[in-house]
């Protein structure tokens, strides 16, 4: 049996890792939705914009509220930083798509 701190760290790591992976998947879904909708004439409705903005806010708030644990590997730290940059890129794509709705 492992030491209590090792057992807890393992559980926290698995939960943390799954959370970050799911945020990444959510961002990919949103990015595809924005790319698809931005190609369609009149698809960027006010309702679509509001729903997309809510989704962007949720992903962004979740990503930026994550503090990097001290045990985080360099690869995972890099992944988190890249995801945070990517949120800004996806938001820029959303704003370009949303400008068509006005």
pLDDT tens by residue, 16-36: 889 999 999 999 999 999 998
pLDDT tens readout for residues 45-65:
888 889 999 999 999 999 999
Which one is predicted more confidently, 89 or 97? 89
- Give me 23's structure tokens: 């945020």
Q: What is the CATH number of domain 4-101?
A: 1.20.58
Alpha-carbon gap, residue 99 to 44, rounded angstroms: 8
- Give me 96's structure tokens: 């370009």
For the residues 2-8, what does the mean pLDDT come to? 79
Beta strands in the chain (DSSP E): none
- Give me 95's structure tokens: 């704003």
pLDDT category of residue 96 using cuts at 50, 70 and 90: confident
> Which residues, including other chains, have CB under 8 Å from residue 31's CB and lie 6 or more apart?
90, 93
Alpha-carbon gap, residue 101 to 53, rounded angstroms: 13
């Amino acid at each position: 049996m492992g030491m209590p701190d090792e057992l807890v760290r393992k559980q926290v790591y698995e939960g943390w890792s799954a959370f970050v992976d799911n945020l990444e998947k959510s961002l990919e879904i949103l990015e595809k939705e924005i790319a698809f909708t931005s190609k369609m004439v009149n698809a960027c409705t006010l309702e679509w914009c509001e729903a997309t903005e809510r989704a962007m806010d949720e992903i962004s708030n979740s990503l930026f509220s994550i503090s990097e644990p001290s045990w985080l590997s360099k690869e995972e730290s890099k992944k988190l930083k890249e995801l945070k940059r990517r949120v800004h890129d996806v938001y820029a794509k959303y704003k370009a798509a949303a400008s068509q709705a006005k």
